[in-house]
Amino acid sequence: MDHRIYLDNAATTRTDAKVVEAMIPFFGECYGNPSSIYSLGAASKKAMNSAREAIAESLNTTPQEIYFTAGGSESDNWALIAAAEAYESKGRHIITSKIEHHAILHTCDYLKKRGFEITYLDVDADGVIDLEQLKASIRKDTILISIMAANNEIGTIQPIAQIGAIAKERDVLFHTDAVQAYGHIPIDVKACHIDMLSASGHKLHGPKGIGFLYIRQGLKLRSFIHGGSQERKRRAGTENVPAIAGLGTAVKLAFENMDENAKKITAMRDYLIEKIEKEIPYCKLNGHRTERLPNNVNFSFTFIEGESLLIMLDMKGICASSGSACTSGSLDPSHVLLAIGLPHEQAHGSLRLTLSEENTYEELDYTVEAVKEIVAKLRNMSPLYEDFCKKQKG
Amino acid sequence: MYSEKVMDHFTNPRNVGEIEEASGVGTVGNAKCGDIMRMYLDIDENHVIRDCKFKTFGCGAAVATSSMATELVKGKTVQEAMKVTNKAVLEALDGLPPVKVHCSLLAEEAIHAALWDYAQKNGLEIEGLEKPKSDIHEDEEEDEEY
CATH code of the domain in which A203 resides:
3.40.640.10
Q: Collect all residues with Cβ–Cβ distance below 8 Å to B96 and sequence separation of at least 6.
A: B2, B3, B6, B61, B65, B90, B103, B104
pLDDT in the model for residue B144: 54
User: Chain B window 28-57: which residues touch A at a Cβ cutoff of 8 Å?
Assistant: 31-38, 54-57
Band (pLDDT 50/70/90 cuts) for residue B143 is low
Task: Average the pLDDT over each of A221-235, A304-318, A319-333, B84-98 and give the range with the smallest value.
Answer: A319-333
pLDDT in the model for residue B32: 77
In order of A16, A104, A157, the CA distances from A161 in angstroms are 31, 20, 11
Q: Which residues of B touch A348 (CB under 8 A)?
A: 31, 34
Cβ contact A187:A181 at 8 Å: yes
Cβ contact A294:A254 at 8 Å: no
Task: Report residue A6: phi and psi, to 5°.
Answer: -95, 110
Contact B10 A311 (CB under 8 A): yes
Is-catalytic flag, B59? no
Q: Give the largest Cα separation in chain B, rounded.
A: 60
For helices B4-11 and A306-315, angle between their N-to-C axes, nearest 10 degrees: 100
Q: Across all residues in chain B, what is the average pLDDT?
A: 89
User: Chain A window 78-117: which residues touch B at a Cβ cutoff of 8 Å?
Assistant: 106, 109-110
A106 → closest Cβ in B27, B32, B145? B145
Q: What DSSP string describes B24-85?
A: EEEEEEETTTTEEEEEEEEE-TTSBEEEEEEEEES-HHHHHHHHHHHHHHTT-BHHHHTT--
Q: Are residues A184 and A124 in the same domain?
A: yes
pLDDT in the model for residue B137: 44
Q: Which residues of B touch A374 (CB under 8 A)?
A: none
Q: Is 60 exceeded by the pLDDT of residue A188? A: yes
Q: Rounded to a whole number, what is the distance in Å from the CA of A38 to chain B's nearest CA?
A: 43
B36 → closest Cβ in A307, A311, A384? A384
Interface test mutation site (partner A, options B32, B38, B96, max chain A beta carbons within 10 A): B32
User: Chain A within 8 Å of B65 (Cβ-Cβ)?
Assistant: no
pLDDT in the model for residue B139: 42
Q: Rounded to a whole number, what is the distance in Å from the CA of A85 to chain B's nearest CA?
A: 17
Q: Summarize pLDDT for A222-238 with one digit per residue, the tens.
A: 999 999 999 999 999 99
Taking the CA atoms of A305, A306, A307 and A311 in sequence, report the sign of the dihedral they define. positive
CA A327 to chain centre: 18
Q: Are residues A306 and A367 in the same domain?
A: yes
Q: Rounded to a whole number, what is the distance in Å from the CA of B7 to chain A's nearest CA?
A: 9
Q: Is 50 exceeded by the pLDDT of residue B140? A: no
Q: Are residues A34 and A158 in the same domain?
A: yes
Q: Summarize pLDDT for B15-64 with one digit per residue, the tens.
A: 999 999 999 999 999 877 788 999 999 999 999 999 999 999 999 999 99
Contact A331 B13 (CB under 8 A): no
DSSP symbol at A150: B
% of chain A exceeding 90 in pLDDT: 94
Q: Which domain holds residue A195?
A: 17-256
In order of A26, A57, A192, A203, A315, the CA distances from A61 in angstroms are 27, 6, 12, 21, 46
3-state helix, strand, coil in chain A (%, to 5): 45, 15, 40
pLDDT in the model for residue B133: 73
Q: Is 60 exceeded by the pLDDT of residue A293? A: yes
Q: Are residues A237 and A271 in the same domain?
A: no
Contact A331 B33 (CB under 8 A): yes
B18 → closest Cβ in A305, A343, A386? A386
Question: If DSSP codes are grouped into helix, strand and coil, which group holds residue A8?
Answer: strand
Q: Are residues A197 and A295 in the same domain?
A: no
Q: Is 50 exceeded by the pLDDT of residue B138? A: no
Q: Are residues A358 and A305 in the same domain?
A: yes
Q: Are residues A247 and A264 in the same domain?
A: no
Cβ contact B124:B145 at 8 Å: no
Q: Are residues A180 and A83 in the same domain?
A: yes
Taking the CA atoms of A188, A192, A197 and A202 in sequence, report the sign of the dihedral they define. negative
Q: In CATH, what number is assigned to the domain containing residue A340?
A: 3.90.1150.10
User: Chain A within 8 Å of B135 (Cβ-Cβ)?
Assistant: no
In order of A21, A23, A261, B61, the CA distances from A17 in angstroms are 6, 10, 17, 38
User: Chain B within 8 Å of A389 (Cβ-Cβ)?
Assistant: no
The CATH class for the domain spanning B4-122 reads: alpha beta
User: Chain B within 8 Å of A237 (Cβ-Cβ)?
Assistant: no
DSSP symbol at A363: H
Contact A331 B138 (CB under 8 A): yes
Q: Summarize pLDDT for A97-146 with one digit per residue, the tens.
A: 999 999 999 999 999 999 999 999 999 999 999 999 999 999 999 999 99
User: Chain B within 8 Å of A373 (Cβ-Cβ)?
Assistant: no
Domain count, chain A: 2
pLDDT in the model for residue B142: 46
Q: Are residues A340 and A209 in the same domain?
A: no
Contact A324 B36 (CB under 8 A): no
Q: For residue A226, is it within any domain?
A: yes
Interface test mutation site (partner A, options B59, B65, B139, max chain A beta carbons within 10 A): B59
Contact A345 B58 (CB under 8 A): no
pLDDT in the model for residue B141: 43
pLDDT in the model for residue A325: 66
Catalytic option among B3, B8, B30, B33: B33
Q: What DSSP string describes A29-53?
A: T----TT-SSHHHHHHHHHHHHHHH
Element (H, E) at B87: helix B86-92
Q: Rounded to a whole number, what is the distance in Å from the CA of A104 to chain B's nearest CA?
A: 14
Cβ contact B70:B54 at 8 Å: yes
Q: For residue A5, is it within any domain?
A: no
**Which residues of A have a catalytic role annotated?**
326
Contact B57 A380 (CB under 8 A): no
User: Cα separation of A225 and A211, whole Å?
Assistant: 15
Cβ contact B23:B121 at 8 Å: yes
User: Chain B within 8 Å of A301 (Cβ-Cβ)?
Assistant: no
Q: Rounded to a whole number, what is the distance in Å from the CA of A273 to chain B's nearest CA?
A: 25
Q: Summarize pLDDT for A327-353 with one digit per residue, the tens.
A: 655 667 899 999 999 999 899 999 999
- Residues in a beta bridge with A8: A354
pTM of the model as a whole: 0.93
Q: Rounded to a whole number, what is the distance in Å from the CA of B104 to chain A's nearest CA?
A: 14
Band (pLDDT 50/70/90 cuts) for residue A320 is very high
Domain boundaries, chain B: 4-122
Q: Are residues A23 and A155 in the same domain?
A: yes
Q: Is 60 exceeded by the pLDDT of residue A258? A: yes
DSSP symbol at A225: B
Q: Across all residues in chain A, what is the average pLDDT?
A: 96
Task: Report residue B125: phi and psi, to 5°.
Answer: -120, 125
Element (H, E) at B130: none
Q: How many CB atoms lie within 10 A of CB B47?
A: 18
Q: Looking at this protein, which amino acid is placed at residue A229?
A: S
3-state helix, strand, coil in chain B (%, to 5): 40, 20, 40
A303 → closest Cβ in B57, B60, B142? B57
User: Chain B within 8 Å of A343 (Cβ-Cβ)?
Assistant: yes
If we measure between CA atoms, which residue out of A347, A351, A326 comes closest to residue A336? Answer: A347
Q: Are residues A191 and A337 in the same domain?
A: no
Q: Are residues A232 and A164 in the same domain?
A: yes
Final residue before a domain boundary, out of A256, A283, A312: A256
Mean pLDDT (whole number) for A380-391: 94
Q: Is 70 exceeded by the pLDDT of residue A1? A: no
Q: Summarize pLDDT for A27-40 with one digit per residue, the tens.
A: 999 999 999 999 88
